[in-house]
Amino acid sequence: MSPATVSLKPEISVDFDAEKIRADFPILKLKIDGKPLVYLDNAASSQMPQQVIDRLVRYQTTQHANINRAVHYLSEVATMEYHTARCKLQQFINAREDREVIFTSGTTDSINLVMHGYGRKFIKAGDEIILTTLEHHSNIVPWQMLANEKGAKIRVVPINDKGELEVDEYEKLFNERTKFVGLIHVSNALGTINPVQRMIDFAHQHGVPVLIDGAQAAPHITIDVQALDCDFYAFSAHKLCGPTGVGILYGKAALLESMQPFKGGGDMIASVTFEETLYNTIPHKFEAGTPPIAAAIGFGAAVDYLSAIGIERIAAYELSLLNYATERLNDIPGVKIIGTAAEKTAVISFTIDGIHPHDIGTILNQDGIAVRTGHHCAQPVMQRFNVPATSRASFAFYNKKTEVDALVAGIKNVQKVFL
C-alpha cells in the first residue's frame, strides 16, 4: 500500500521519557505466557498508574463513608474529597462552575442522562436529531430509542473514504425541525478527530444544542468546554488512567436546570412527600443514590496525573508513535489501514488480506500483544468500509516504539501462520 494514502505530519521531537512514565504503571511489568505485555488496547481502556492506585487505597483505608448525609468525621472527609474530585474535573475541562459537572457511571450513562433529561422533555414528533456515521453505539442507540418513542427522526452525517466527516453535508442537514446534534469528538474505531468547533458553531447559528461524546478525545486533547461552547460533553474515567464505573457529564448550568431528572432516588431531592417531590439543585438532581465515591476520587487523581505530564506533551508523543506505526504498517504487504484522516489520535484500525480479525487478535495474543478486534461498537463505520470487523491498535503515552516493532513482527507472524 502506498504511504501517500496517509497524511503523515512531520515527526515532532518530544522530550518525553516513556521509560520513566512506564515505571508508574505496575501492570506494564506483566508477562503474558512468558512474553512481555504489549498493551495496545488503550482506546478500550487505559491502564492505571501507581499514583491513582495509591489514591484509591488511601481513600478506602482512611477516608471512606457515605457522603452528603451524616455529620461524622468520615462522612465529612468523604464528602469533601468527592467535591474536590468534581472541582478537579471542572478545571480539567475548564467548566465555568463545578455544579456543571455531574458524576455518572461513564460516557454511556452520561449520554442516556441527556437523552432522558433533555431529549424526552424537549424533543417532539417530527423533530430531527443529527448524528454522524462515526458515532459509537452509545451515541446512536439512546437517540434511536427516543426517536421511536417520540416519532422523531435521525439524520446521519456521512464520512469520506479517509474516515473524515463530510462537514458540508452536515451543514445541509439543518432545517427548522433540527432539534439536537450528537457528535463524537474522536472516532473510537478510526481515530479521526472531528472539527467539533466548526460543527458546534454551525449548530448554534441554528439554535440547536450539541452533545459531544468525548470518550476518546479527553485522554488526548485538551478540552475547554467554554471555548468549544458545547452544550454537553461526556467522557469516562477508565480511558484516562482512572477507575471503571465513573465518568462525567458536563452540561451548561441553564440547560441542566431546565432538564428533568434521569433517575429518581436519594440525594436528588430537596423534599419528598407522597404527594410531591421537590428536586435538589444541580448537580445533585442528577446524582440519585450513593455515587461511585471512590471511583470519582480516583478519577480526580487520574486527571491530576495526566495534567502533571501535560495533555499537549502526551498528544505530541502519541502522534510520533502514530506516525511511526502508520509508516511501519504501510510497509507490510497485505495490511490495509482503515481510517486515514488528516487529523487522528494514535489509533490504527487495520485489516490483513484473507485473515479474520479474531484470528489476528488470538495469534497476536500468543505474542503478548493486546489489540482489539471486532466492530468496536461502531457497526455503521464497519458497514461504510464494507468490512465486518477490523483489528485496532490504540496507543497511549506509555507505549514505545519497540512495541510498535513488536506489533509489526506479530503481524508478520500472523501472515506466516496463514501462508
Least separation in angstroms between residue 389's CB and other proteins is: 6
Angle at 254 (CA atoms; ends 171, 257), nearest 5 degrees: 120
| SS3 call for 367 | coil
Which of 242/380 has CB closer to other proteins?
A: 380
Q: Is 137 in the site for other proteins (CB under 8 A)?
A: no
Among 362, 133, 111, 149, which residue's Cα sits nearest to residue 249?
A: 111
Burial class of residue 416 in the structure, from the number of CB atoms within 10 Å of its CB (0-12 exposed, 13-18 middle, 19+ buried): exposed
Q: Is 382 in the site for other proteins (CB under 8 A)?
A: yes
Interface with other proteins (CB under 8 A), residue total: 19
Least separation in angstroms between residue 358's CB and other proteins is: 4
| Residues 186 and 216 sit within 8 Å (Cβ to Cβ) | yes
Strands (E), 273-389: 277-279, 335-338, 347-352, 369-370, 372-374
How far is the C-alpha of 82 from the C-alpha of 283, rounded, in Å?
Answer: 13
Residue for grid cell 449548530 = 203
For 318, the grid coordinates are 502519541
Which of 150/356 has CB closer to other proteins?
A: 356
Q: Is 413 in the site for other proteins (CB under 8 A)?
A: yes
Which of 172/358 has CB closer to other proteins?
A: 358
User: Stretches 122-130, 157-165, 267-275, 366-374: which one binds other proteins (CB under 8 A)?
Assistant: 366-374
Can you tell me which of 1, 370, 375, 405 binds other proteins, judged by CB under 8 A? 375
Residue for grid cell 430531527 = 128
Question: Hey, what's the torsion of the CAs at 369, 162, 232, 379, to 10 degrees?
Answer: -60
| Residues 141 and 273 sit within 8 Å (Cβ to Cβ) | no
Q: Is 409 in the site for other proteins (CB under 8 A)?
A: no
End-to-end CA distance of the chain: 19
Burial class of residue 97 in the structure, from the number of CB atoms within 10 Å of its CB (0-12 exposed, 13-18 middle, 19+ buried): exposed
Least separation in angstroms between residue 31's CB and other proteins is: 15
How far is the C-alpha of 45 from the C-alpha of 215, rounded, in Å?
Answer: 10
Residues forming the active site:
377
Which of 29/358 has CB closer to other proteins?
A: 358
Least separation in angstroms between residue 391's CB and other proteins is: 12
Least separation in angstroms between residue 406's CB and other proteins is: 14
Q: Is 37 in the site for other proteins (CB under 8 A)?
A: no
Which of 142/361 has CB closer to other proteins?
A: 361
| Residues 201 and 181 sit within 8 Å (Cβ to Cβ) | no
Can you tell me which of 36, 310, 334, 374 binds other proteins, judged by CB under 8 A? 374
Q: Is 355 in the site for other proteins (CB under 8 A)?
A: yes
Can you tell me which of 221, 378, 389, 396 binds other proteins, judged by CB under 8 A? 389
User: Stretches 63-71, 175-183, 373-381, 397-405: which one binds other proteins (CB under 8 A)?
Assistant: 373-381
Can you tell me which of 20, 31, 72, 416 binds other proteins, judged by CB under 8 A? 416
How far is the C-alpha of 131 from the C-alpha of 99, rounded, in Å?
Answer: 27
Q: Give the other-Cβ count within 10 Å of 36's Cβ.
A: 16
Q: Is 279 in the site for other proteins (CB under 8 A)?
A: no
Q: Is 388 in the site for other proteins (CB under 8 A)?
A: yes
How far is the C-alpha of 411 from the C-alpha of 419, rounded, in Å?
Answer: 12
C-alpha distances in angstroms, 288 versus 76, 270, 292, 401?
A: 19, 12, 11, 45
Least separation in angstroms between residue 35's CB and other proteins is: 9
Residue for grid cell 502519541 = 318
Q: Is 358 in the site for other proteins (CB under 8 A)?
A: yes
Least separation in angstroms between residue 335's CB and other proteins is: 17
Q: Is 417 in the site for other proteins (CB under 8 A)?
A: yes
Which of 72/416 has CB closer to other proteins?
A: 416
How far is the C-alpha of 294 from the C-alpha of 391, rounded, in Å?
Answer: 34
Least separation in angstroms between residue 284's CB and other proteins is: 38
Which of 43/293 has CB closer to other proteins?
A: 43
Q: Is 373 in the site for other proteins (CB under 8 A)?
A: yes
Q: Is 359 in the site for other proteins (CB under 8 A)?
A: yes
For 291, the grid coordinates are 455515587
Residue for grid cell 478486534 = 373
- Binding region for other proteins (CB under 8 A): 355-359, 362-363, 366, 373-375, 379, 382, 388-389, 413, 416-418
